[in-house]
Amino acid sequence: MEKDRVRALLEQVADGTLGVDDALVRLKTEPFEDLGYAKVDHHRALRQGAAEVIYGAGKTPAQIAGITEALLRHGQKTVLITRVSPEAAAEIKKTVPALCYDPVSRIGRVGPVPEPDGAGRVVVATGGTSDIPVAEEAAQTAEILGSEVARLYDVGVSGIHRLLASADLIASARVVIAVAGMEGALASIVGGLADCPVIAVPTSVGYGASFGGLAALLSMLNSCASGVSVVNIDNGFGAGFLANRINHLEGKK
Predicted confidence at residue 29, as pLDDT, reads 56
Cβ(133)–Cβ(140) under 8 Å? no
Closest CA to 70 of 88, 55, 52: 52
Burial status of residue 77 (CB atoms within 10 A of its CB: 0-12, 13-18, 19 or more)? exposed
Q: What is the CATH code of the structural domain delimited by 121-247?
A: 3.40.50.1970
- Phi and psi at 157, nearest 5°, equal -70, -10
Three-state SS for 196?
coil
For the chain, give every domain's residue range.
30-110, 121-247
pLDDT band at 253 (very low <50, low <70, confident <90, very high): very low
**Could you tell me the pTM of the whole model?**
0.86
Three-state SS for 64?
helix
Pairwise CA distance, residues 124 & 137, whole Å: 10
Closest CA to 149 of 244, 245, 50, 54: 244
Predicted confidence at residue 6, as pLDDT, reads 67
Predicted confidence at residue 2, as pLDDT, reads 44
pLDDT at 103 over 90: yes
